[in-house]
Amino acid sequence: MAQSIHQMEFYENLIEMGHQVDILAREGKGKTDIDIEKVFSKEVPLARLFFNIDSRSKLKRLLRDNDYDVVHDRGYLFGGIATKLADKYDLPVVLQIDDDWIEMEHRHSNYLKLPFLHSHSKRFCRELIDKTDRSFTVSETLKKIIAESWGGDPTRIDVVPNGVDPERFKPMDEDDLLKGKYDLQGKTMVFVGKLGPWHGVDTLLKATPVIKKEYPDFKAVIVGGDQKDVKRYRKKAGDEVVFTGKVPYKEVPKYINLADICVAPYPDVDYGFSPFKVFEYMACEKPVLTSDLPSLREILSEDTAILSKPGDPEILAENASEAFKRDLEDMGKKARQKILDEYTWKKSTEKLVDVYKKALESHS
């Protein structure tokens, strides 16, 4: 979902700025009528291979039949079809790098644990980034990781952070139906996102019973997760935790606005991310309780968030309990202003256009 949101926001804003855009993607639905050339998206064994074959065929036709100024490749490990074809057709290409593909694959799958595959993946990433005219990451932290881990030239890597739509995510009155449905009578903490170890859900579930000791009516509302993950985490949670499961994206602002504070308890591993949930919390003027990591420090400060020791449930609980005692309205307002000044999708897209211009200049 986040990937789809990312791409659709970029392309809708590019269109609003007067650019012509063709999209080749698994899926995508935006606010405007965008014609998407869909490629293989079934969850089957060797899905990535089938995706590569299908996308190569369709992109080759698009490049042959149209006169493009630049090709934007949202890359992934052992992908890079757009980068390679752009090179073949002598077109400027920009590579989007949302995370350290090697590290993420290594942590969340087994096949990169084989030494020869790990070395091959490093060679693949280095060769791919060297084929591009420009690349961009979502944070300065990730840019540094990519330069050091892949061996990419940092002078050819730009930073385009993620953003948020402040018209969709904004302060609004609490939804009484949702409050009643989840029996929210006391202090409320909201978490939005997938349920996985890289989002710190285990840390959160260890912190909530500690918070409840001080605030008996406290509830933590966890928004997101498929049925399998919700079932697994529900077994670890106390009755102070409410799981909503997946909700439509357009409904997420209603859930965020139920919160006294919003939480993003990332573990003590910095992937160099630029997290959607943090921007969405800030845009809704909610105090953010999150981990004190370099990539988050790029976005946040003590004026706009409560920064907690990563992976420590006791300190997370202590910080939450202290936050509930404070008047954090000013913090929320400063957070939203930070969004309006620096982190809307429009501003991110303007930075992306600057990257395109650099690619055109270096290619000529």
Q: Looking at the structure, tell me whether residues 12 and 131 fall in a common domain.
A: yes
Q: Looking at the structure, tell me whether residues 180 and 89 fall in a common domain.
A: no
pLDDT value at residue 109 = 66
Average pLDDT over residues 345-364: 96
pLDDT value at residue 49 = 78
Label residues 163-178 b or e (16+ Cβ within 10 Å = b): bbbbeebbeeeeeeeb
- Do 200 and 267 meet the contact criterion of CB atoms below 8 Å apart? yes
Residues 272, 35: Cα–Cα separation, whole Å: 32
Residues 235, 245: Cα–Cα separation, whole Å: 14
In the structure, what pLDDT confidence band is assigned to residue 39 with cuts at 50, 70 and 90? confident
Q: What is the pLDDT of residues 239-281, one digit of tens each?
A: 999 999 999 999 999 999 999 999 999 999 888 989 999 999 9
Q: Looking at the structure, tell me whether residues 125 and 31 fall in a common domain.
A: yes
Owning domain of residue 198: 176-342
Provide the number of structural domains found in the chain: 2
Q: Looking at the structure, tell me whether residues 15 and 157 fall in a common domain.
A: yes
Q: Looking at the structure, tell me whether residues 337 and 357 fall in a common domain.
A: no
Q: Looking at the structure, tell me whether residues 229 and 358 fall in a common domain.
A: no
> The pTM is what?
0.92
Cα dihedral angle (174, 179, 184, 188), rounded to 10 degrees? -40
Q: Looking at the structure, tell me whether residues 25 and 65 fall in a common domain.
A: yes
Is 343's pLDDT higher than 80?
Answer: yes
pLDDT value at residue 2 = 46
Q: Looking at the structure, tell me whether residues 260 and 133 fall in a common domain.
A: no
- Which amino acid, residue 153? D
Q: Looking at the structure, tell me whether residues 57 and 204 fall in a common domain.
A: no
In the structure, what pLDDT confidence band is assigned to residue 122 with cuts at 50, 70 and 90? confident
Q: Looking at the structure, tell me whether residues 323 and 349 fall in a common domain.
A: no
Average pLDDT over residues 329-333: 96
Look at residue 171 and tell me if it is in a domain: no
**Strand 219-223, strand 157-159: pairing:** unpaired
pLDDT value at residue 104 = 77
Q: Higher confidence at residue 117 or residue 83?
A: 83
Domain harbouring 224, CATH code: 3.40.50.2000
CA triple 319-325-326, angle to 5 deg? 90
CA atoms within 13 A on the CB side of 134: 24
Residues 111, 319: Cα–Cα separation, whole Å: 39
**Strand 261-264, strand 188-192: pairing:** parallel
Is 28's pLDDT higher than 60?
Answer: no
pLDDT value at residue 196 = 79
- Do 289 and 264 meet the contact criterion of CB atoms below 8 Å apart? yes
Write down the mean pLDDT value for the chain.
Answer: 91
In the structure, what pLDDT confidence band is assigned to residue 13 with cuts at 50, 70 and 90? very high
pLDDT value at residue 34 = 61
Look at residue 169 and tell me if it is in a domain: no
Q: What is the pLDDT of residues 195-245, one digit of tens each?
A: 978 899 999 999 999 999 999 999 999 999 999 999 999 999 999 999 999
Task: Report the side by side order of strands in the sheet with 261-264.
Answer: 241-245, 219-223, 188-192, 261-264, 288-291, 305-308
Look at residue 109 and tell me if it is in a domain: yes
- Do 253 and 170 meet the contact criterion of CB atoms below 8 Å apart? yes
Average pLDDT over residues 311-323: 97
- Give rounded-to-5 percent helix, strand, coil for the chain: 50, 15, 35
pLDDT value at residue 52 = 82
Q: Higher confidence at residue 63 or residue 115?
A: 63
Look at residue 168 and tell me if it is in a domain: no
- Do 73 and 97 meet the contact criterion of CB atoms below 8 Å apart? no
Residues 47, 4: Cα–Cα separation, whole Å: 18
Give the list of residues 6+ apart from residue 17 with CB closer than 8 angstroms, or none.
349, 350, 353
Is 33's pLDDT higher than 60?
Answer: no
136, containing H or E segment: strand 134-137
Q: What is the pLDDT of residues 278-307, one digit of tens each?
A: 999 999 999 999 999 999 999 999 999 999
Is 348's pLDDT higher than 70?
Answer: yes
In the structure, what pLDDT confidence band is assigned to residue 342 with cuts at 50, 70 and 90? very high
Q: Looking at the structure, tell me whether residues 304 and 198 fall in a common domain.
A: yes
Q: Beta-strand (E) ranges in 13-112?
A: 23-25, 36-38, 71-74, 93-97
